[in-house]
A = this chain, B = another copy of it.
Amino acid sequence: MAPRTTKQFEEIRTERRAQILDAALHVFAEEGYHTASVSKIAKRASISKGLMYNYFTSKEELLKTIVLEIFEEVMEGMDMKPGEVLTKEKFIHTVHFGIDIAVNNPHRWKLYVSLTFQPDVMPVIMAEMMPHIQPYMKSLSEYFGKKNYDDPIAMMRIYSAMVDGIQMHCILDPENFPVQKAKQLIIDQFA
């Protein structure tokens, strides 16, 4: 019988990979990174534990991959060129996008935030992310500078904190949290 073509193999791998990542994300979100067991992830992905290790070298790599994937999605969605000066429209788009992404990906976001508070897992990942976040924070500071705030960096920090708080509540109680109103308040306050 003819062996599988390279393309067939690639398709299998791509699909399986996604399957595993999806399973991992859900199990991580449901139980937390440490409590989640590889067995459970494999079971949820309907594959054997061994196969998981054919795709990812460790439980930690699974985590890193998930976190970096959403991070890239965010950075891309923000669509901010390094050094770019924000217009009001762009700023407003940023607010909407930044909050919506948490609303639309509650699992991923929950995982992401929970990791921020787990001193043992994140340092490596955070270190990798920081350089990419810097320009975004700089753009924000400059935007606030343009608006004649006396301490634009402080404003940027407060703005970020408030958005993070809103994201948090969106995740923890998506049913009841008044997202739209919250966005409007942020925009009225900072834009």
Residues of A within 8 A of B (CB): 29-32, 34-35, 110, 113-114, 116-121, 151, 154-155, 157-158, 160-166, 168-169, 172, 176-178, 181-182, 185, 189
Contact = CB atoms under 8 A, between A and B. Distances in A.
A120 B158 contact: no
Given A31-B120, A118-B114, A161 B157 contact: no
Q: Which 4 A-B pairs have the closest CB atoms?
A: A165-B165, A114-B117, A34-B34, A154-B178
B172 A157 contact: no
Nearest to A190: B185
Given A34-B32, A114-B114, A119-B30, A161 B151 contact: no
B168 A151 contact: no
A7 B160 CA distance: 52
A118 B185 CA distance: 29
Contacts of A119: 29-32
A64 to B, nearest CB: 17
A108 to B, nearest CB: 13
Contacts of A158: 166, 178, 181-182, 185
A35 B121 CA distance: 10
Given A34-B34, A34-B35, A119-B32, A178 B151 contact: yes
Contacts of A110: 117
Nearest to A158: B182
Given A110-B117, A117-B113, A161 B182 contact: yes
Contacts of A151: 178, 181
